[in-house]
Structure 1
């Protein structure tokens, strides 16, 4: 066994008053497996009443990204082997961790440097103090593989300004640092070259300065997000009642960006788009993160156990890499009325909480 393979996938240690959790799988952009999820949850639980730990920090090893998401190849292997119970076990552990992060009684800081997508947003997006950098690339790209945003992503998307939640949920588009702050996925932008100094300040700060005040010392105001310039056509199109009507409105608008968005949607999994549209709108009206996670859990387990598009999407994108998925149904026009109903109403065998 090499030293790399023997290294723990989550580095757990304390530095001064800081409890540090670093995802340590940089060769896979720190993609999460169930062991990593459990390690983080156990550490957070052990520090909950530890008076020596006053602040907790979660970040990722390497410069490529904090976390590229869950181990999608492993998910594919479980589903095709008929091990849906293992898949449900992973999602239950991951969503419980997302809720724990949101409800943690001590200041919890996350650094979403570089690629932070899917499950990475679940770790970073619900913390008390959420930091991004000029290298940050955030996204909920699940529709690209015939799936739907989870890990509390619908909760964040549902609270984005206007109809940006529907736009980013359906398209899976990437946010830069300024976009993430504008959309409510992050709070502060700190240049990557200052992260080490920030970590040291959090660990060895002089009381009574709080972590928010410390982060502000390193915060750097970037160029504003370009998203508001697109809000008019995004709000107009993505407020439509169905995916088909969204595409029709994009085509009717005539702007190049709107047309390109319609092209993108027409290449994605129609069912995933319908389920995601339904999920974001449901989450917008829910009272809290846990309720949104329960809605997501119903939908993801429906894809795992009842619908072929998730397995097909992973196959086409990551296994065979032919980039030619055969969706069911094949086109947006073939979607039935209320195409999100089956996933919305699905009752998993095991409850989430």
Structure 2
């Protein structure tokens, strides 16, 4: 057990409450362990009818995984402990995706990376006016993992490719518009929603009764541009398309992409393209584990975290430095199968 996760039961509902507010509830190995243990214990317990994932105080649901730990692993143990973290985190993601009981995730506030991984598998995903959703991994040389390949590749109009490459933050109304959230509730109604679920109200009905019409989704105004410019699975094509567009939006988007890891951008496009062809979430997670096994110890990850999170200089020196430098052979090596005894497997 860990103080970083509050596990409790109220009537027929199991609660997993993230409790690391100073780190915006970023996931640690202990938190992953505790969530997995609780979910397995509740899985065959007839008294538990549903699971709620939420967070204690603080300005976010979950800022992601423990990036400092992962970078330290890359620098000190050749990624061994970091890869063990990914292995168990991906098992938690898969357990949630296949869970036989309804899961409700209240994504109130910052929801990024690992926070996306534990909320997107939920049957009910409740956004609020505070929600800020993003997969920002291209900015730190990682990649949109924790099931990102599966969820992003299945969004309409190439929106997933746009979110994966740019790391753009979208709000609660935009999450509903995109299909990333199922309900939009005012933040001050979340306690009431949880109380109704605990009281035995039918979940969908309880959430719908308290839902409000979200504001217009700002990103919708750029849907046609996103679909057009991000249509290709070849990164150079996307850059060329944006370069040929004189609009302010295209210029801003291109400037954003120029700050990202070229390696990660090419990995993400291949990841989403491959995932879209998969029929099983477990196969997606096995693919993402192979990517993690290679990307964790490549230069861009430690350098990206240094520049963006540790030193906050925002001046990463990517290696390779250009999209052209990221060869097809490099990408193939990142996606290559692992030895049979090293491959990821679900619980």
**TM-score interval for Structure 1 and Structure 2 normalised by the shorter chain:** over 0.9
Match of 2:41 in 1: 46
**Does residue 1:316 correspond to 2:307, yes or no?**
yes
Q: Does the aligned pair in 2 maintain the 1:10–1:23 contact within 8 Å? A: yes
Structure 2 counterpart SS, 1:215: helix
Tell me the equivalent position of 1:238: 230
1:340 corresponds, among 316, 331, 335, to 331
C-alpha deviations, 1:122-170, integer Å up to 9, x for none? 0111111111111000111100101110000111100111111110000
2:117 pairs with 1:117: no
Residue pairs, 1:130-209, within 5 angstroms: 130-205=125-200, 209=201
Deviates more, 1:288-297 or 1:246-255: 288-297
Further displaced range: 178-187 or 193-202: 178-187
2:93 corresponds in structure 1 to: 98
Quote the residue 1:66 is aligned against.
61
Paired position in structure 2 for 1:299:
291
- Aligned partner of 1:279 in structure 2 is 271
Deviation at 1:39, TM superposition (A): 0.1
CA distance in 1, matches of 2:330, 2:72: 27
Write the deviation string for residues 212-245 of structure 1: whole angstroms up to 9, x where unpaired. Answer: 1111111111123132321222111111242122
Contact kept? 1:274, 1:339, Cα under 8 Å: no
Query: What secondary structure, in the 3-state scheme, does the structure 1 residue paired with 2:342 have?
Result: coil
The separation in 2 between residues aligned to 1:342 and 1:274, in whole angstroms, is: 13
Which of 118, 122, 130 is the equivalent residue of 1:127? 122
1:26–1:198 CA distance, 2 compared to 1 (3 A): same
* 2:204 corresponding residue in structure 1: 212
Q: Which runs of 5+ in 1 are unaligned?
A: 1-5
Which of 199, 209, 217 lines up with 1:225 in the alignment?
217
1:308-335 alpha-carbon deviations (Å, 9 max, x no partner):
1111111111222222111111122433
SS in 1 for 2:244: helix
Contact 1:181 1:187 in 2 (8 A): yes
Shift of 1:112: 0.6
Distance 2:82 2:146 in 1: 14
* Cα shift at 1:338: 6.2
Check whether the contact 2:113–2:136 (CA below 8 A) recurs between aligned residues: yes
Q: Give the TM-score normalised by structure 2.
A: 0.95
1:29 deviates by: 0.4
Pair 1:28-2:19 in alignment: no
TM-score (norm 1): 0.94
For the residue of structure 2 that corresponds to 1:261, the secondary structure is helix
Which structure 2 residue ranges, 5 or more long, are not aligned? none
Q: Which of residues 76, 83, 90 in structure 2 aligns to 1:81?
A: 76
Q: Deviations over 1:14-69 (max 9, x none)?
A: 11211111011011000101110010010011111222211110111113111000
Q: CA RMSD in A?
A: 1.6
Q: Is the 8 A contact 2:83 2:292 kept in 1?
A: no
TM-aligned CA deviation for residue 285 of structure 1 = 1.3
Closer/same/farther in 2, CA of residues 161 and 149 from structure 1, 3 Å limit: same
- For 1:326, the equivalent position in structure 2 comes to 317
Q: Distance in 2 between matches of 1:337 and 1:39?
A: 40
Give the 3-state SS of the residue equivalent to 1:253 in structure 2.
Answer: coil
The worse-fitting range, judged by mean Cα deviation, of 96-105 and 181-190 is 181-190
Taking the aligned partners of 1:248 and 1:158, their CA distance within structure 2 comes to: 22
Alpha-carbon separation, structure 2, partners of 1:321 and 1:28: 16
Instruction: Work out whether residues 113 and 133 of structure 1, in 8 Å CA contact, stay in contact via their aligned partners in 2.
Output: yes
User: For the structure 1 residues 337 and 352, does the alpha-carbon distance in structure 2 shift closer, same or farther, using more than 3 Å as the test?
Assistant: closer
CA shift for structure 1 position 171: 0.5
